[in-house]
């Protein structure tokens, strides 16, 4: 990956690569769950710490067989079955892991294989003339005939725990890599007449792994297209399913419409008839029914009510909460503020740390000066107030119900209900004044 970040922590659909694997495994309700870490192990522990997950360290890294031996030492005694999976193969479904575990519960050594179009770099599955699995051969140790085999081992395996302990203890490093290969247990099982059964993946894309950023990007598109397909089948309209990125959870009501280039992060909930215009970024947002988000909006950790209009080019920052029928227009920013029903800020405004009443109108160029250099202060604007263009409300300050603030005012003192308040310098014209002119340059 050419990265300081451990491979399994690189993001896939907004979450660490290995988190997708853990999700699938957790669907089996395992009694114990162990993650083997090596280089960058502290970062992995910090990112994935959970009550049901134990970590063990393989140091130095000496192959998959050695990793399993390290993990087995942290697992319960020799009962049940052990499932071994790779942290960089995020698309294998839980049902496939369950099928492997069921085979192991019947006393078999179960391996997950797949027929692939390009087996380069992967271990090949060698079968006998009756089709039984005889061995798994790593590519660097394979003969030319074995390299021509298109069935590969995916890295997933299940076996009775006692059996896996016994086989793992006998592994040696007599191979080109001088590593302990877990795949060698297959040949051991065959020699001891233990049944080895391959569960062949139905779709080769399910078993794709990540070894570089190009493969990660390819798997990202698979995940995104699958998610987009599920949304469309559930009734969401996507202008182009190839141009949407869902990096978390997106829940949509009926008749939701999403245009191209939109990114959804964290948990986003869209009510019925919500429309998202092109190139918006939404993170941890709840949007009420009938609301439209215009193009190029950024909405982060905010709540938007029903029948609102936001944007284009608007920014809602954390703890912005819009009631129903609010209009937030182009180049308007709202942060840590409650905006009442029917209020409008249609152009070029900043509303921060404020409580804005119902049916307030905030004029173009108006800002709430909420920060004194040390502390943030709160502003309250009463129902029905009208704030003229180019005003500065210097917090803490209260604007009364129905108050009108004249354009260009800087308000530092509370303005009363139902009155016009002005705070402007007196306009003066200087008669006869001439604008300075540049002197001609000397020749």
- Tell me the chain's radius of gyration from C-alpha atoms: 31
Alpha carbon distance 302, 318 (integer Å) = 6
Alpha carbon distance 399, 119 (integer Å) = 71
Catalytic-labelled residue, pool 10, 347, 359, 377:
347
Residue whose C-alpha is closest to residue 239's, from 296, 278, 271:
278
Alpha carbon distance 175, 228 (integer Å) = 45
Burial of 408 (0-12, 13-18, 19+ CB in 10 A): middle
Contact 404, 428 (CB under 8 A): no
Alpha carbon distance 170, 158 (integer Å) = 17
Burial of 22 (0-12, 13-18, 19+ CB in 10 A): buried
> Is 298 assigned a catalytic role?
no
Alpha carbon distance 114, 189 (integer Å) = 20
Neighbours of 410 (CB within 10 A): 14
Cβ neighbours for 314, distance < 8 A, ≥ 6 positions apart: 294, 297, 298, 328, 329, 330, 331, 332, 333, 334
CA 247: distance to chain centroid?
A: 3
Catalytic residues: 347
């Amino acid at each position: 990956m050419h990265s300081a970040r451990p491979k399994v922590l690189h993001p896939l659909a907004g979450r660490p690569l290995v988190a997708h694997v853990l999700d699938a495994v957790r669907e089996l309700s395992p009694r114990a769950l162990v993650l083997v870490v090596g280089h960058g192990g502290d970062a992995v522990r910090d990112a994935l710490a959970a009550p049901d997950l134990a970590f063990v360290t393989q140091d130095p890294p000496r192959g998959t067989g050695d990793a399993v031996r390290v993990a087995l030492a942290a697992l319960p005694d020799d009962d049940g079955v052990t499932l071994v999976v790779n942290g960089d193969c995020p698309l294998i479904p839980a049902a496939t892991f369950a099928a492997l575990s069921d085979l192991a519960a019947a006393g078999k050594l179960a391996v997950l294989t797949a027929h692939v179009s390009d087996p380069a770099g992967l271990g090949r599955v060698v079968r006998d003339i009756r089709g039984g699995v005889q061995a798994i051969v790593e590519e660097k140790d394979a003969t030319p005939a074995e390299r021509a085999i298109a069935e590969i081992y995916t890295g997933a395996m299940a076996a009775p725990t006692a059996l896996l302990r016994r086989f793992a203890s006998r592994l040696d490093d007599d191979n080109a890599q001088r590593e302990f290969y877990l795949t060698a247990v297959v040949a051991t099982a065959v020699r001891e007449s233990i049944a080895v059964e391959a569960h062949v993946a139905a779709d080769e894309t399910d078993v794709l792994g990540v070894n570089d950023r190009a493969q990660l990007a390819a798997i990202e598109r698979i995940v995104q297209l699958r998610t987009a397909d599920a949304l469309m089948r559930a009734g969401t309209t996507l202008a182009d399913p190839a141009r949407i990125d869902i990096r978390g959870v997106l829940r949509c009501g009926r008749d939701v419409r999403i245009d191209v280039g939109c990114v959804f992060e964290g948990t986003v909930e869209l009510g019925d008839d919500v429309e998202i215009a092109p190139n918006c970024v939404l993170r941890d947002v709840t949007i009420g029914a009938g609301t439209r988000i215009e193009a190029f909006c950024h909405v982060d950790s905010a709540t938007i009510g029903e029948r609102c209009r936001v944007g284009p080019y608007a920014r809602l920052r954390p703890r912005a909460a819009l009631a129903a029928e609010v209009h937030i227009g182009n180049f308007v920013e709202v942060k840590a503020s409650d905006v009442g029903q029917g209020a409008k800020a249609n152009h070029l405004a900043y509303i921060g740390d404020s409580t804005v009443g119902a049916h307030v109108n905030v004029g173009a160029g108006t800002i709430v000066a909420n920060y004194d250099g040390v502390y943030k202060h709160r502003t309250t604007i009463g129902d029905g107030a009208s704030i003229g263009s180019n005003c500065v409300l210097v917090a803490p300050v209260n604007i009364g119900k129905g108050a009108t603030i004249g354009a260009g005012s800087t308000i530092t003192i509370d303005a009363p209900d139902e009155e016009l308040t002005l705070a402007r310098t007196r306009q003066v014209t200087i008669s006869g004044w001439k604008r300075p002119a540049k002197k001609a340059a000397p020749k």
